[in-house]
């Protein structure tokens, strides 16, 4: 959930200053249009870890935007007026009217999160609080409200660094109280509780945007730009038809490229053939025993393979299946849906093929097509792929609760490596059929796919079914890591 916000994304000061005038004038423009049209209110929620720059971001937004149509609400201890009413009263009274934007710095999330972290509420009560929040936001969204939720995140060591540097600065020392350090000590607990909260409350109508708090210009522009784009989009006359996304503006300063989670992978990982042969043989032996054991214990497994064209999914799958008994596994290659599948909800075709007890099912591409190719190519509308994230999380939760081992692999290669593999395939007679013009066309959308993968990891890498990102420029390295991961997961599950 937070992996994508530990990338040290940053924006050089010069670029920041260059794009600022355009961003600011655009924000003022949409604010004014919003106010003139008075069609819907905008609710901006700012949450996240201490020291990630939440307060500074709110102040910056105030500097940039028109104060007449903007209000910020912070929530301290309950006033007696508030204590005498139900919890949500303080929030209802501060909701913005149509045409205005309100920033909630601290919100309906704060109290349930803190009480859960401090162990004051049991798990079930926490879940109930999250469902109540969903009902609240659904009611507002159904009424037309645009809800933008930002979660500021920092890696643990970055948070520590930041708190220390604030303490050293005489002007900023006041920002760090003993409470911040107390929270820091509970970092792991916060991480877990917040990840769950974000997963449950990232709905189609009110999704979270995770913002990395590492660099100030980055976080300001990310939040500002997202607010701008979302209001702008909503102000346009609504069309319900599905059309491919417009090509990105050619040369606007606002279209910045930031590193995605994929760029954190070290693609220079190597493994030579002889080490590979040795390790793979050992791993397959180990997997074979584990798989037999799993069959006996009626534990089933479900493996998902996603990745770039020519990233080596097929080869990796074969290395897994070689260790398995053919009676107990099946491979589901996912191509275009059949007529019958098209006549159902997109998850239906995957539910059909769930493994029986003790079996292994391997999906070569999967339901994630919805938020990858269907998103990038415009086959699904934004509303459709946005609501797919929580649907897929809930789907996988049901598998894991049932006792299944669920493993999701993304095989990552560089763009250059892909080109080389395409060429090799074209030169090999029995591999030529694998390469079509479409494969080359897909390369043109490389950056869009990177963004889609990043969002997918941000929204669907859960504690119970995390994404395993595999460095696959070296096939040997990738295959070993995959079989190893499967072995480890089975071992853990069989012990448990």
Position 132 contacts a second copy (CB under 8 A):
yes
Establish if 322 lies at the interface with a second copy (CB under 8 A). no
Among 135, 186, 242, 296, binds a second copy (CB under 8 A): 135
* C-alpha pair distances (Å), 326 with each of 77, 286, 322, 323, 490: 62, 17, 9, 9, 18
Q: Considering only residues 89 through 128, tell me which ones interact with a second copy, judged by CB under 8 A.
A: 89, 92-93, 95, 97-99, 124-125, 127-128
Q: Residue from 22, 143, 325, 416 that binds a second copy (CB under 8 A)?
A: 143
The 10 Å Cβ neighbour count of residue 267 is 16
Nearer to a second copy, 318 or 345 (CB): 345
Site membership for a second copy, residue 391 (CB under 8 A): yes
Q: Does 346 bind a second copy (CB under 8 A)?
A: yes
Residue with tokens 């670029």: 15
Q: Which is nearer to a second copy, 302 or 376 (CB)?
A: 302
In the list 351, 440, 446, 464, the residue contacting a second copy (rule: CB under 8 A) is 351
Q: Which stretch binds a second copy (CB under 8 A): 8-16, 133-141, 275-283, 468-476?
A: 133-141
Selection from 219, 230, 226 nearest residue 7 by Cα: 219
Contact 323, 284 (CB under 8 A): yes
Q: Is 142 in the site for a second copy (CB under 8 A)?
A: yes
Toward a second copy, which CB reaches closer, 351 or 446? Answer: 351
153 three-class SS: strand
Are the CB atoms for 413 and 473 separated by under 8 Å? Answer: yes
Select the residue interacting with a second copy from 120, 131, 157, 492 (CB under 8 A): 131
Among 120, 182, 344, 423, interactor with a second copy by CB under 8 A = 344
- Segment contacting a second copy (CB under 8 A): 16-24, 160-168, 389-397, 471-479? 389-397
Cβ closest to a second copy, residue 59 vs residue 94: 94
CA distance 187 to 192: 9
Candidate segments 102-110, 152-160, 206-214, 343-351, binder of a second copy by CB under 8 A = 343-351
How far is residue 85's CA from residue 484's CA, in Å, rounded to a whole number?
A: 55
Closer residue to a second copy in complex, CB, 123/157: 123
| Separation of first and last alpha carbons in the chain | 24
The verdict on 168 binding a second copy (CB under 8 A) reads no
Closer CB to a second copy, residue 36 or residue 278? 36
Q: Rounded to an integer, what distance in angstroms lies between the CA atom of residue 287 and that of residue 298?
A: 16
Q: Is 35 in the site for a second copy (CB under 8 A)?
A: no
**220-228, 401-409, 442-450, 463-471 -> range binding a second copy (CB under 8 A):** 401-409
> Using the rule CB under 8 A, is 78 a contact of a second copy?
no
Residue 134's CB: how many other CB atoms inside 10 A?
17
How many residues touch a second copy under the rule CB under 8 A: the total is 54
CA distance 376 to 385: 10
Residue closer to a second copy by CB (options 227, 399) is 399
Asked if 336 is part of the footprint of a second copy (rule: CB under 8 A), the reply reads: no
The C-alpha atoms of residue 229 and residue 245 are separated, in whole angstroms, by 14
Shortest approach of a second copy to residue 70 CB, angstroms? 16
* Token pair 């999914």 in the structure block, residue: 313
Is 247 a binding residue for a second copy by CB under 8 A? The answer is: no
Q: Are 472 and 412 in contact (CB under 8 A)?
A: yes
Contact between residue 159 and residue 175 where contact means Cβ atoms under 8 Å apart: no
Site string for a second copy, 369-388 (x = CB under 8 A): ------------------x-
Question: Quick one: three-class SS letters along 70-122?
Answer: EEEEECCCCCHHHHCCCCCHHHHCCCCCCCCEEEEECCCCHHHHHHHHCCCCC
Q: H/E element holding 314? A: helix 313-321
* Three-class secondary structure of residue 329 per DSSP: strand
Q: Is 236 in the site for a second copy (CB under 8 A)?
A: no
**DSSP letters of 170-203?**
TTTGGG--HHHHHHHHTHHHHHHHHHHHHHHH--
CB nearer to a second copy: give 396 or 458: 396
Pull the structure tokens for residue 481.
């890591």
Q: Which of 352, 423, 441, 492 binds a second copy (CB under 8 A)?
A: 352
**E strand or H helix that includes residue 407:** strand 405-412
Q: Which two tokens stand for residue 45?
A: 């929620």
* CA separation for the pair 254, 492 (Å, rounded): 46
Please, which of residues 292-311 interact with a second copy by CB under 8 A? 298, 300
CA dist 418 and 432 (Å) reads 15
Residue 464 lies near a second copy (rule: CB under 8 A) = no
Binding site residues, a second copy, CB under 8 A? 38, 41, 81, 83-89, 92-93, 95, 97-99, 124-125, 127-128, 131-132, 135-136, 139-140, 142-143, 145, 204, 298, 300, 340, 343-348, 351-352, 354, 356-358, 387, 390-391, 394, 398-399, 401-402, 404
């Amino acid at each position: 959930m937070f992996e994508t916000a530990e990338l040290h994304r940053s924006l050089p000061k010069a670029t920041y200053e260059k794009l600022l005038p355009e961003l600011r004038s655009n924000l003022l423009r949409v604010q004014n249009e919003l106010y003139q049209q008075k069609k819907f209110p905008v609710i901006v929620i700012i949450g996240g870890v201490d020291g990630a720059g939440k307060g500074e971001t709110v102040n910056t937004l105030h500097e940039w935007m028109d104060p007449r149509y903007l209000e910020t609400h912070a929530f301290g201890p309950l006033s007696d007026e508030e204590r005498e009413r139900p919890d949500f009263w303080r929030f209802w009274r501060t909701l913005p009217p149509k045409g205005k934007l309100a920033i909630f710095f601290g919100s309906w999330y704060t109290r349930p999160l803190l009480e859960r972290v401090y162990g004051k509420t049991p798990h079930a009560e926490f879940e109930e609080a999250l469902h109540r929040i969903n009902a609240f936001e659904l009611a507002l969204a159904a009424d037309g409200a645009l809800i933008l939720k930002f979660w500021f995140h920092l890696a643990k060591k970055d948070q520590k660094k930041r708190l220390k540097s604030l303490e050293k600065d005489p002007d900023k020392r006041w920002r760090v109280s003993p409470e911040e350090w107390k929270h820091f000590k509970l970092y792991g607990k916060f991480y877990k509780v917040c990840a769950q909260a974000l997963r449950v409350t990232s709905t189609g109508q009110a999704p979270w945007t995770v913002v990395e708090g590492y660099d100030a210009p980055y976080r300001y522009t990310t939040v500002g730009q997202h607010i701008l784009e979302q209001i702008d989009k909503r102000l346009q006359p609504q069309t319900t038809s599905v059309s491919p996304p417009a090509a990105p503006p050619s040369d606007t300063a606002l279209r910045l490229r930031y590193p995605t989670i994929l760029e954190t992978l070290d693609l220079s990982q190597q493994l030579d053939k002889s080490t590979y042969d040795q390790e793979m043989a050992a791993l397959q032996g180990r997997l074979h025993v584990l798989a037999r054991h799993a069959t006996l214990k009626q534990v089933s497994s479900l493996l998902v393979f996603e990745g770039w064209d020519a990233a080596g999914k097929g080869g990796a799958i074969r290395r897994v299946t070689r260790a398995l008994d053919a009676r107990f596994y099946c491979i589901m290659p996912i191509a275009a849906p059949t007529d019958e599948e098209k006549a159902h909800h997109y998850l239906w075709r995957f539910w059909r093929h769930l493994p029986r007890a003790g079996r292994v099912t391997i999906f070569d591409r999967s339901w994630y097509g919805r938020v990858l190719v269907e998103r990038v190519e415009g086959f699904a509308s934004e509303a459709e792929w946005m609501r797919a994230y929580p649907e897929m999380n809930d789907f996988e939760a049901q598998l894991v609760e049932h006792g299944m081992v669920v493993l999701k692999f993304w095989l990552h290669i560089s763009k250059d490596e892909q080109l080389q593999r395409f060429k090799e395939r074209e030169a090999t007679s029995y591999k030529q059929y694998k390469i079509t013009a479409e494969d080359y066309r897909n390369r043109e959308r490389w950056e869009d796919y990177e963004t889609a993968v990043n969002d997918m990891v941000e929204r669907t890498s859960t504690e119970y079914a995390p994404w395993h990102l595999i460095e696959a420029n070296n096939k040997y390295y990738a295959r070993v890591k995959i079989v190893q991961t499967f072995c480890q997961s089975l071992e853990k599950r069989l012990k448990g």
